[in-house]
Structure 1
Amino acid sequence: MFRSAFAATLLIASPAAAQQLTAEQAAKVDTIVADALKSSGVPSASVAIVRDGKIVFTKAYGDQGPGIRNGPDANARYQIASVSKQFTAAAILLLADEGKLNLDDKVSKWVPDVTDADTITIRQLLSHTAGLQDYWPQDYSFKAMETPVTPQQIVDRWAKKPLDFAPGTAWQYSNTGYVVAGMIIEKASGQKLLDYLDARIFKPLGMHPVDQDKAIGKGFPQGTHRYALGPVRPAKPAADGWLWAAGELAMSAADLAKWDIARIDRTVLPAKDWAVQETEVKLNDGAPTHYGLGVSIGEHGGKKEISHGGEAVGFLSSNVVIPEARFAVVSLVSADFGGAHEAIAEGITDLLLPVEKPATASLDQQRDALARTLFDQLRTGTPDRSLMTEDANYFFDATALGDYRASLSPLGEPLAFEPIGKARLRGGFVNRNYRIRYKDRQLIAITYAEPGATGKFEQFLVMPR
């Protein structure tokens, strides 16, 4: 049983540093986190805030699970998953500085058994423009993830398929590309990936991350998941090896904030490497990707925003840095459902650097209607399984369907079923998300489907918003 998300909180920050947030601001941060945990049902969160290039606030909230015995611990190491990609990319940049490789090397020089390896560059691997199909587009662990895997096995199954597009002609998030990049790091450095990162980045910054595969049990937060609005359940971790160079790290919010400060101050990596990582990679036709090397690139109040999210089995994370404002916020949660991590990061950013948000775009009406149809079927526990892929049918077993029916059916008809954002290609599927509004609550549906008007759904996750 998970205790209330409003259990006692722990503040780990020196009095002098904490004074840089006013008492009113600190109280508002507490409210932002508490509201996000309450509305989503997420058991715990850990937060760090950087202002003026210094950590001014770290705090853990809620129930981190049986592995944390003495209340919420701000030093607990959460699995940060794809936020790790910027560290993998940084390792490549450092190896380029050492003259051991070049960002524009062809992959065939290092991992020749990848499809069309002689047409893909290392830069394209890191910017998700290589065309390699993503091996984990789902927001749940599929059947194969019950068995340990090696990087070579991931390459053999996914990186030897035909490319989804010619390198440089499109952008598609691909964990597969980062596994290949990790293999290149180990070949070029002669070291294990984590050993190289430890020597070149973690020790110089006083960081103490661990392999996320080992961040389980005593001393670590318990990851959780939830089927629709059913009970919060402990998440069964994926077997070893599935995230590796695509999401290999577990660390505290404060440790990730130390890396954010290095980004702000241009330390550990040469300034030119930070600039390269934060430069948007354009497609061959000049179209934008809004992505650099392991980081997303946006703007906040007219200033460049460097960010990334992460998802492991049972965990979600958000890391936002606005270098020009010397500001960063880290939000880590022990759940792979809901949007608490983003609500916390966005809420704190808007609190301390307020700007007006742009409106979102509309989506394809035909797919929206099909998504609404499947949602209505799931809330009654009677999905048309022909609308779903083999993996989605595996996910919707008796437990999942029971939780969906028991938690959604009592809500009745929603007031609205509205698209959020734009459709995005990933792992050969199209991602579309929906806001589901009731009188006294909002839900979100995160869907992946095969391309086309009648493509089958690979994923249909419903969770609190």
Structure 2
Amino acid sequence: MHRPLMALAAFVALCAPAAAQSLTPEEQQKIDAAVTSSLATYGVPAASVAVVRGGRIVMAKAYGKASETLPVASPAMPFQIASNSKQFTAAALLLLEDEGKLSLDDKVAKYLPGISGGDQISIRQLLSHTSGLQDYWPHDYSFAAMARPVTPQGIVDIWAKKPLDYVPGTKWQYSNTGYVVAGMIAEKVSGMPLLSFLQKRVFKPLGMTSVMDQDLAIGARYPQGYGRAALGPVRPAVPAARGWLYAAGELSMTAEDLAKWDIARMNRTLLPADDWAAQETSVKLTDGTDTHYGLGVFNADRDGRHAITHTGEAVGFLSVNNVYPDDKAAIVVLTNSWSGRAYGAIARQIAGIVLPAKATPVAMSGEAAMTARTRALYDALRRGALDRRQVTDNLAYYFTPQVRADFQSSLAPLGDPTGFEVQGEPELRGGFEIRSYKVTYPTRALSISVFTEPGANGRFEQFLVNPA
């Protein structure tokens, strides 16, 4: 649903303040060209974009094909925003705290029995990804269980009753499971479904009329999710069965409606100002390490510019929401493919147009042995081979005959790479080690998203290839 590496990569770097003005015709033309070019480059069918400048929405526009039955995307269509929903779940709990119905420092066991470490984990730790609960969906593909409907309790029974990945508060590790637990607490305390609570307290007051459960935003009237295997054809993605996103990412909405929420954040309206501040304040670990994450949002300062940001991933959808409170500016990009990085490229280019930005370098690291293993699997897939001893059952499930064929047919013609390098440092999530690699060819570059079991010889749990 969301990966920290993707979030940081999509984060828009620093820019100069913009005046409270509409886009000029030249700026609009540049944005149109940037979006159209990025969609073509990454093989993404559609994007819905909103731009806030000077504290008001100056653009809300859609591009491309929404679905096989909707050849033209409309800005009125709700796209699945996935983990960008987390800030709304956190807002619900902050509002319930304002009413005196709970405290974010309450322990989980006070509300839900049977959660691993429930007598140690606070609600605040659920919302800040410091609980130690193992993530149930760290993948960027649908695993086998997602073909069957699930309930929040069903997710909890499998993942929230495993041993904790670490002592609560001692590490930061992205966990959708923590947000499922948080949503269940919100519903128990409020006495109503989470989405109903948010409709009443947040969406209706802000005039966010498009918001709905993403499980219902599927069918002939709604944008369709897409994806591709390696550099193969862009194909419609099969949606997950109902219930898999819940409080961790259940919302669909238009880019314009998400921008309305961003404006409320900038102006400190709807929620009390201290709630906004609490959501945006970076949580520190017990050893004092800054996580750069608050309650449902990332908090970053780069080259003197402050930004509140998050990304989201659902089956066939990717999104990014970048807010610059000091500049009264925001950029929302929603796309209907979970392959490629069009959403981040579009956001960066728009920032360069409306808020001129500086590039920030990404640190490199070594790990020669793991890089060699990853290169060996990549080379095997180029030949159409797969050593099942090297992959988990979930990844074997992903590599259907069609997927393997798409990998081979799209990668083999490229020949041998001229470069194969790890990008950044490995991260932990969902019990796996996460790495990204850049594969270089004379005329193009690719990126590989890799999850492995811990240890030097851990099996591969994820292996996705996209344009870099």
TM-score, structure 2 normalization: 0.94
SS in 2 for 1:48: strand
SS in 2 for 1:321: strand
CA, structure 1 residues 18+233, in 2 after alignment: closer, same or farther (shift >3 Å)?
farther
Please say if residues 351 and 357 of structure 2, whose CA atoms lie closer than 8 Å, have aligned partners that are also in contact. Answer: no
Q: Aligned residue for 1:244?
A: 246
- Give me the whole-angstrom Cα distance separating, in 1, the residues matched to 2:126 and 2:58: 35
Q: Aligned residue for 2:135?
A: 134
* Displacement after TM superposition at 1:357 (Å): 2.4
Q: Aligned residue for 2:301?
A: 299
- Give me the whole-angstrom Cα distance separating, in 1, the residues matched to 2:397 and 2:352: 40
Please say if residues 310 and 322 of structure 2, whose CA atoms lie closer than 8 Å, have aligned partners that are also in contact. Answer: yes
2:292 to 267, 270, 290: 290
- Give me the whole-angstrom Cα distance separating, in 2, the residues matched to 1:131 and 1:391: 23
Q: Deviations over 1:42-81 (max 9, x none)?
A: 1111100000010001111111113436x22011110000
Matched residue type, 2:228: R
Instruction: Say yes or no: does 1:460 pair with 2:449.
Output: no
Q: Deviations over 1:156-215 (max 9, x none)?
A: 000000000000010110000000000000011001100000000000000020100011
SS in 2 for 1:460: strand
Q: Aligned residue for 2:4?
A: none
Instruction: Say yes or no: does 1:173 pair with 2:171.
Output: no
SS in 2 for 1:205: coil
Instruction: Say yes or no: does 1:230 pair with 2:232.
Output: yes
SS in 1 for 2:119: helix
Please say if residues 227 and 234 of structure 2, whose CA atoms lie closer than 8 Å, have aligned partners that are also in contact. Answer: yes
Q: Aligned residue for 2:16?
A: none
- Give me the whole-angstrom Cα distance separating, in 2, the residues matched to 1:64 and 1:38: 14
Please say if residues 67 and 222 of structure 1, whose CA atoms lie closer than 8 Å, have aligned partners that are also in contact. Answer: no
Q: Aligned residue for 1:312?
A: 314
SS in 1 for 2:132: coil
Please say if residues 62 and 72 of structure 1, whose CA atoms lie closer than 8 Å, have aligned partners that are also in contact. Answer: yes
- CA RMSD between the two structures: 1.4
SS in 2 for 1:336: coil
Matched residue type, 1:366: A
CA, structure 1 residues 289+307, in 2 after alignment: closer, same or farther (shift >3 Å)?
same
Q: For CA contacts below 8 A with separation 6 or more, give which structure has more relative contact order.
A: 2
Q: Aligned residue for 1:443?
A: 446
1:43 to 28, 42, 45: 45
1:418 to 417, 421, 446: 421
Please say if residues 56 and 263 of structure 2, whose CA atoms lie closer than 8 Å, have aligned partners that are also in contact. Answer: yes
Structure 1 stretches lacking a partner, 5+ long:
1-16
Please say if residues 380 and 409 of structure 1, whose CA atoms lie closer than 8 Å, have aligned partners that are also in contact. Answer: yes
Identity of aligned residues (%): 57
Please say if residues 67 and 217 of structure 1, whose CA atoms lie closer than 8 Å, have aligned partners that are also in contact. Answer: no
Q: Deviations over 1:300-351 (max 9, x none)?
A: 4412111110000010000100101111000011101000011111221233
* Displacement after TM superposition at 1:284 (Å): 0.3
1:54 to 49, 53, 56: 56
Q: Aligned residue for 1:324?
A: 326
- Give me the whole-angstrom Cα distance separating, in 2, the residues matched to 1:438 and 1:309: 29
SS in 1 for 2:465: strand
Residue range with higher mean Cα deviation, 60-69 or 22-31: 60-69
SS in 1 for 2:186: helix
Q: Aligned residue for 2:24?
A: 22
1:402 to 402, 405, 418: 405
Matched residue type, 1:122: I
* Displacement after TM superposition at 1:19 (Å): 6.7
Please say if residues 41 and 464 of structure 1, whose CA atoms lie closer than 8 Å, have aligned partners that are also in contact. Answer: no
Q: Aligned residue for 1:78?
A: 79
Residue range with higher mean Cα deviation, 356-365 or 214-223: 356-365
Please say if residues 437 and 443 of structure 1, whose CA atoms lie closer than 8 Å, have aligned partners that are also in contact. Answer: yes
CA, structure 1 residues 274+67, in 2 after alignment: closer, same or farther (shift >3 Å)?
farther
Q: Aligned residue for 1:361?
A: 363
Please say if residues 18 and 57 of structure 1, whose CA atoms lie closer than 8 Å, have aligned partners that are also in contact. Answer: no
- Give me the whole-angstrom Cα distance separating, in 2, the residues matched to 1:395 and 1:313: 13
* Displacement after TM superposition at 1:366 (Å): 2.1
Structure 2 stretches lacking a partner, 5+ long:
1-18
How many residues in Structure 1 have an aligned counterpart in Structure 2?
448
Please say if residues 78 and 252 of structure 2, whose CA atoms lie closer than 8 Å, have aligned partners that are also in contact. Answer: yes
Q: Deviations over 1:140-160 (max 9, x none)?
A: 111000100000010000000
Please say if residues 282 and 288 of structure 1, whose CA atoms lie closer than 8 Å, have aligned partners that are also in contact. Answer: yes
Matched residue type, 2:42: S
Q: How does 1:358-397 map onto structure 2 within 5 Å?
A: 358-363=360-365, 364-397=367-400
- Give me the whole-angstrom Cα distance separating, in 2, the residues matched to 1:416 and 1:46: 34
- Give me the whole-angstrom Cα distance separating, in 2, the residues matched to 1:347 and 1:430: 31
Please say if residues 432 and 452 of structure 2, whose CA atoms lie closer than 8 Å, have aligned partners that are also in contact. Answer: yes
TM-score, structure 1 normalization: 0.94
* Displacement after TM superposition at 1:374 (Å): 1.0
Residue range with higher mean Cα deviation, 21-30 or 176-185: 21-30
2:68 to 66, 69, 85: 66
Q: Deviations over 1:233-281 (max 9, x none)?
A: 1111000000000001000000100011011111111110000000000
Please say if residues 301 and 355 of structure 1, whose CA atoms lie closer than 8 Å, have aligned partners that are also in contact. Answer: no
CA, structure 1 residues 294+67, in 2 after alignment: closer, same or farther (shift >3 Å)?
farther
Q: Aligned residue for 1:146?
A: 147
Please say if residues 67 and 220 of structure 1, whose CA atoms lie closer than 8 Å, have aligned partners that are also in contact. Answer: no
* Displacement after TM superposition at 1:138 (Å): 0.6
Please say if residues 21 and 53 of structure 2, whose CA atoms lie closer than 8 Å, have aligned partners that are also in contact. Answer: no
